Amino acid sequence: MNRLRVPIRAAVALLAAALPLAACGLQPMYAGGGSGQVARALAAVEVPAIEGQAGWLVRNALVDRLGAPEGSAAARYRLLVRLDDRLEGLGVLSDDTIGRERRTLRARYQLVDLANGEILVDATAGSDAGIDVVSSEYATIAAEQTALENLSREVASQISTRLALVLRDRQ
């Protein structure tokens, strides 16, 4: 008998704690999964080619995140992206060589409604990474490339999250 009361009390306490959350306004963003409103709106975003290697990486990451089929005729929105990719030396060693680099990737993007040309979002996203410059030139180049790939995914993540919020509020 005593064993039954403990789980019931715990369940009642959990239910009582969850009730205030229902009124706080939290809503699942991707309710309905791939067929939900936000997912369908994101899939209707066309992402044209973006200049440069960083552009290629960011565009591919965006297409993957948005779920937009390649060459989709059902595009309702166009995402225009301009990138600024910089690699600069930071730490100078005693022999006047660079010991550390910083790679910065910034994106200025606009989401345009194709029906009326209205700009729904005009924002920026960005991230940066530190890179150790080592004696092996190959290792340094590989680290710079890895940093660019990681930064591209991070910038695409920031952009897709912002688009999801805007498109959810627009529904």
- Number of domains the chain contains: 1
pTM beyond 0.85: the answer is no
| Percentage, residues of the chain above pLDDT 90 | 56
Average pLDDT over residues 123-132: 94
Assess if residue 152 is contained within a domain: yes
CATH number at residue 78: 3.30.160.150
pLDDT of residue 56: 97
pLDDT at 31 over 60: no
In a domain, 16, yes or no: no
Q: Kindly state whether residue 6 falls inside one of the protein's structural domains.
A: no
Range of the domain at 79: 34-170
Residue 15 to residues 1, 4, 9, 56: CA-CA distances in angstroms? 22, 17, 10, 49
CA-CA-CA-CA torsion sign (52, 53, 58, 64): positive
Band of residue 67 on the pLDDT scale cut at 50, 70, 90? confident
Residue 8: strand, helix, or coil: helix
Give a yes or no: residue 18 inside a domain. no
Predicted local confidence at residue 65, as pLDDT: 93
